[in-house]
Amino acid sequence: MDIVHYYRNPAILTRILEFLGVPPELLTDLTTCIDLSRPLADSIELKELLCAATTEYISAYGHRLLETNHRDHASMKPFGLGWTLDNGLDIHRSIWDRENALGVLDVEYFSKSFPGEPYLAPKRTFGLMEPVYQGILDVFKSYGLAPLAVITGQGYNFDVLVSKDKPVLGSLASLGHVEETLKYDYSHPSPKRGRPVPEEDARAFDAMGKLFEFLCHRILTEVSACTPPIPVVVGDVVCGNEKREAISLDLSLYTNPLHTRSIRCPFSAYSKHMLRGDVLGDIVARRVGSLFSVPRRLRDAELPLTRVLDIRTSAEKVARWAKRVATYIPDQPEGMVRLIREYKESRLYAFHLEYDAGQQDNASGWFQGYDRFDLSSIPPCVAQPLHCPNPLLLQPTNLRTIVRALMAIGWHPKHIAGLVYSKYARNFGWDVNFRRYDANRWANVWVRIYAGMIVTGVDQLLDLNCISQQEKGDAWMGMRYCPAPDCGCNLADYRDMLERRI
């Protein structure tokens, strides 16, 4: 079964429409309302169904776009779904939703030395993730939450939502904070976006990120007690083991504006490994065939790991699984109330309040402030990404090192974010479009994440020493995480200073 015919399977199309937010009463039997033998782009009936979708937009990804647009991705209104399916593209939906606030935890295996490992050795890598996967579900369950768990090429997405018509949304939005730089962007939509991002939506998105930080703290605490086979980190923080591998609780979604981020649809084709040979290695595209993103768990339905790894490689098997499971993201307001209550009783919540209230230097004052920071006063491993920001200052490994070291010598985390922002805002030839993704939010959220782990004691600073820094190896193009092994500095001293401060 090729991808185009796969997408015309009524069970597959139903599951995709569910995930886009089309109400269930409209999806009882697609075969009676849509002619699945004809191009879906021409289907008026499909477009009528998509009028009821709650997702703000969809995104497409794949070879066909490279051939026509010279880019591998494109965003469009939900009405473009038929064209996307007809061209066999991967499908994503926006985090921004007209009726709900979505929360997503992205968990991935990564290896700095062998990026293609999860594709070439999925049984090994997903086996390493299995205790973390189960631990994450246990943490969600402790609050009465049962997320939609979807397997991807390198890990899982765990999806929940809060309906805007539930009282808990007000409690959620009250926890959120929106940077001044982002308020303008949210209120002045581009022609492509079409409408402003409502303030309540923006605040709820920021608050969801904070709740998922809190969940990550719980997950790290629970999983560490079980001694996972490889490190579990927040963000792609490089570890100094043989393959420089770890399991990442990835919160990067929340470092960008709400209207810029999307998540892969369950039952979508998955072609990232075929297009990113520059990152994953050409051998991955040659050896690994078609993959599909499929739900592994929804409420009480769950597939064993060996079964889901087998199913996701076969369009026919995926189509059979699609008949047995729904893909609506669960709305569980009672569980969200419990999660918010416990978060507000935590040390992390107190830190977030303090952090949001903090002020950075204005851009007009950078020359007299952040620009005058003497980088020779800190270890070379801390100074290097500030000297050579692109791409070193984009790497979570370096951001965490900077946060640790500067907090150790007395910097307020909000000023650390200001220093990082002052670099992002300059033209260093960034691959990231910081006009679109908001440099200030990128800096603020990454620093908030790592500073919060320090303040709460979740970051035990075990690798804040020179040996561990040296073992991290290459950072980029021959530049090492420890650029000067004989520098005379001792990161263990910074660990001691930081422990005294907290």
pLDDT per residue as tens digits for the range 20-46: 999 999 999 898 899 999 999 999 999
Enumerate residues 6+ apart whose C-beta is below 8 A from 346.
Answer: 214, 456
Looking at every residue in the chain, the average pLDDT score rounds to 95
Q: What is the DSSP letter of 96?
A: B
Nearest to 444 by CA among 213, 284, 237, 224: 213
pLDDT at 70 > cutoff 70: no
In a domain, 351, yes or no: no
In a domain, 336, yes or no: no
Is residue 452 domain-shared with residue 309, that is, in the same domain?
Answer: no
Q: What was the pLDDT predicted at 67?
A: 75
Q: What is the DSSP letter of 490?
A: -
In a domain, 333, yes or no: no
Give yes or no for a contact between 131 and 226, defined as CB atoms under 8 angstroms apart.
yes
Please give the sequence-ordered ranges of beta strands (E in DSSP) within 251-298, or none if there are none: 262-264, 269-270, 291-292, 294-298
Give per-residue pLDDT as tens, 434-483.
988 999 999 999 999 999 999 999 999 999 999 999 999 999 999 999 99
Give yes or no for a contact between 107 and 235, defined as CB atoms under 8 angstroms apart.
no
In a domain, 329, yes or no: no
In a domain, 421, yes or no: yes
Is residue 285 domain-shared with residue 181, that is, in the same domain?
Answer: yes
Give yes or no for a contact between 449 and 442, defined as CB atoms under 8 angstroms apart.
no
Total domains, the chain: 3
Enumerate residues 6+ apart whose C-beta is below 8 A from 255.
Answer: 437, 441, 442, 445, 446
| Maximal C-alpha separation, the chain | 75
Give per-residue pLDDT as tens, 209-225.
999 999 999 999 999 88
Give yes or no for a contact between 473 and 480, defined as CB atoms under 8 angstroms apart.
yes
Query: pLDDT tier at 182 (50, 70, 90 boundaries)?
Result: very high
Is residue 59 domain-shared with residue 198, that is, in the same domain?
Answer: no
pTM of the model: 0.96
Among residues 74, 91, 108, the one where a domain terminates is 91
Query: pLDDT tier at 73 (50, 70, 90 boundaries)?
Result: confident
Q: Exposure of 357 by Cβ count < 10 A (0-12 exposed, 13-18 middle, 19+ buried)?
A: exposed
Distances from the Cα of 273 to the Cα of 90, 118, 270, 318, 337, angstroms? 12, 10, 8, 19, 39
Is residue 284 domain-shared with residue 204, that is, in the same domain?
Answer: yes
In a domain, 332, yes or no: no
Among residues 264, 295, 322, the one where a domain terminates is 322
In a domain, 182, yes or no: yes
Give yes or no for a contact between 74 and 97, defined as CB atoms under 8 angstroms apart.
no
Is residue 394 domain-shared with residue 307, that is, in the same domain?
Answer: no
In a domain, 293, yes or no: yes
Q: Please, where are the H alpha helices in 276-368?
A: 277-280, 282-287, 305-311, 315-322, 333-344, 347-357
Torsion of CA 220, 226, 232, 234, to 10 degrees: 0
Q: What is the DSSP code string of 120-162?
A: HSHHHHHHHHHHHHHHHHHHHHHTT---EEEE-SSEEEEEEEE
Is residue 99 domain-shared with residue 248, that is, in the same domain?
Answer: yes
Residue 183, classed as helix, strand or coil, is helix
Separation between Cα atoms, residue 10 and residue 14, nearest integer Å: 6
Is residue 101 domain-shared with residue 180, that is, in the same domain?
Answer: yes
The average pLDDT across 246-261 equals: 97
Is residue 365 domain-shared with residue 475, that is, in the same domain?
Answer: yes
Residue 97, classed as helix, strand or coil, is strand
Is residue 445 domain-shared with residue 497, that is, in the same domain?
Answer: yes
H-run or E-run covering 232: strand 232-234
Give yes or no for a contact between 160 and 43, defined as CB atoms under 8 angstroms apart.
no
pLDDT at 349 > cutoff 80: yes
The average pLDDT across 126-155 equals: 97
The average pLDDT across 239-266 equals: 97
* SS3 track for 1-58: CCHHHHHCCHHHHHHHHHHCCCCHHHCCCHHHCCCCCCCHHHCHHHHHHHCCCCECCE
Query: pLDDT tier at 199 (50, 70, 90 boundaries)?
Result: very high
Is residue 149 domain-shared with residue 281, that is, in the same domain?
Answer: yes
CA angle 404/125/291 to nearest 5° reads 115
Domain span including residue 132: 94-322
Torsion of CA 360, 361, 363, 364, to 10 degrees: 160
Among residues 27, 57, 91, the one where a domain terminates is 91
CA angle 117/123/126 to nearest 5° reads 75
Q: What was the pLDDT predicted at 449?
A: 99
pLDDT at 299 > cutoff 80: no
Distances from the Cα of 227 to the Cα of 59, 69, 221, 463, 482, angstroms? 38, 47, 10, 16, 27
Is residue 38 domain-shared with residue 171, that is, in the same domain?
Answer: no
Is residue 74 domain-shared with residue 99, that is, in the same domain?
Answer: no
The average pLDDT across 7-26 equals: 97
Tokens standing for residue 490: 């001792």
Q: What was the pLDDT predicted at 53?
A: 98
Q: What percent of the chain has pLDDT over 70?
A: 99
Separation between Cα atoms, residue 115 and residue 154, nearest integer Å: 10
